[in-house]
């Protein structure tokens, strides 16, 4: 089984949702730079205050900041790691290659129309990072997290104007990572347009076992 994996894909592709399942079912530790940054912003730390303007406008936080964040967290983890939302630039991918060997990058491929619809109906748990969708994956109780009973919220950067910028930033900075991992024979592409959440997870599991 592969033990160091990267989840790639545009905003709204389902990376966070699949990361949660991979963590629960296969014992990965999830490292999500998006979750880490949102927590820093919520706690009004120095790093959070610096990152806020980038996150809220849908732009990327400078490489140095996220690379440092990942380096710090990775030190305490011994088992299998799943990177969600990192790397997002070639510079971040190079930095990661110096920290650890990556076994596989999984690109969840989803069309723009589907992404925009998903993001507009997305709900999140501020405490445990669980992701919901008003139609495709509603919480059992309205606006309350199934796992930790915290009130759910809609992310500030999920507003339509910001989403359009996030997609543009994704194409410019993150799309090149598909070639980056493909050239290193580490890329698997999963069609995330169709199939249930569970079905997509099963396809990821197969890729991890091969």
Q: Under the criterion CB under 6 A, does residue 105 sit at the interface with ligand ADP?
A: no
**For the chain, what's the residue count?**
210
CA contacts within 13 A on the Cβ side of 187? 16
Note whether 58 binds ligand ADP by CB under 6 A.
yes
Query: Residue 155 catalytic?
Result: yes
Question: Is position 83 an interface residue for ligand ADP (rule: CB under 6 A)?
Answer: no
Q: Is 147 a catalytic residue?
A: no
User: Which listed residue (28, 41, 80, 85) binds ligand ADP by CB under 6 A?
Assistant: 85
How many residues bind ligand ADP (CB under 6 A)? The answer is 19
- The secondary element (H helix, E strand) that includes residue 22 is helix 15-26
Instruction: Give the sheet arrangement for strand 29-32, strand by strand.
Output: 29-32, 81-84, 4-8, 104-109, 187-191
17: its two tokens: 């949702």
* Catalytic residue status for 88: yes
List beta partners, residue 7. Answer: 84, 106
CB of 125 to ligand ADP, least distance (A): 13
Query: Binding of ligand ADP at residue 34 (CB under 6 A)?
Result: yes
SS3 call for 141: strand
14-33: which residues touch ligand ADP (CB under 6 A)? 15, 33
From residue 155 to residue 184, the character string flagging contacts with ligand ADP as x (rule: CB under 6 A) and all else as - is --x--------x------------------
For 15, 24, 58, 147, the CA distances from 51, given in Å and listed in that order, are: 21, 29, 11, 28
Q: In angstroms, what is the minimal distance from the CB of 150 to ligand ADP? A: 17
Mark whether 205 is an active-site residue. Answer: no
Token readout for 57 is 């406008």
Interacting residues toward ligand ADP by CB under 6 A: 11-12, 15, 33-34, 37, 54-55, 58-61, 66, 85-86, 88, 92, 157, 166
């Amino acid at each position: 089984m592969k033990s160091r994996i990267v989840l790639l894909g545009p905003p709204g592709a389902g990376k966070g949702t699949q990361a949660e399942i991979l963590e629960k079912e296969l014992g990965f530790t999830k490292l999500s730079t998006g979750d880490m940054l949102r927590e820093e912003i919520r706690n009004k730390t120095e790093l959070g205050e610096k990152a806020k303007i980038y996150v809220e406008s849908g732009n990327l936080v400078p490489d140095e900041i996220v690379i440092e964040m990942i380096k710090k967290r990775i030190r305490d983890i011994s088992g299998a790691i799943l990177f969600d939302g990192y790397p997002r630039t070639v510079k971040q991918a190079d930095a990661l290659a110096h920290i650890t060997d990556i076994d596989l990058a999984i690109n969840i491929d989803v069309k723009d129309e589907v992404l925009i619809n998903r993001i507009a109906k997305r709900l999140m748990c501020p405490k445990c990072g669980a992701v919901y969708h008003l139609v495709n994956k509603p919480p059992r109780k309205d606006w309350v997290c199934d796992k930790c009973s915290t009130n759910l919220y809609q992310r500030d950067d999920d507003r339509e104007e910001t989403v359009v910028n996030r997609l543009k930033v994704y194409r410019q900075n993150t799309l090149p990572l598909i070639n980056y991992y493909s050239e290193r024979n580490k890329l698997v592409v999963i069609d995330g347009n169709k199939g249930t959440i569970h079905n997509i997870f099963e396809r990821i599991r197969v890729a991890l076992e091969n």
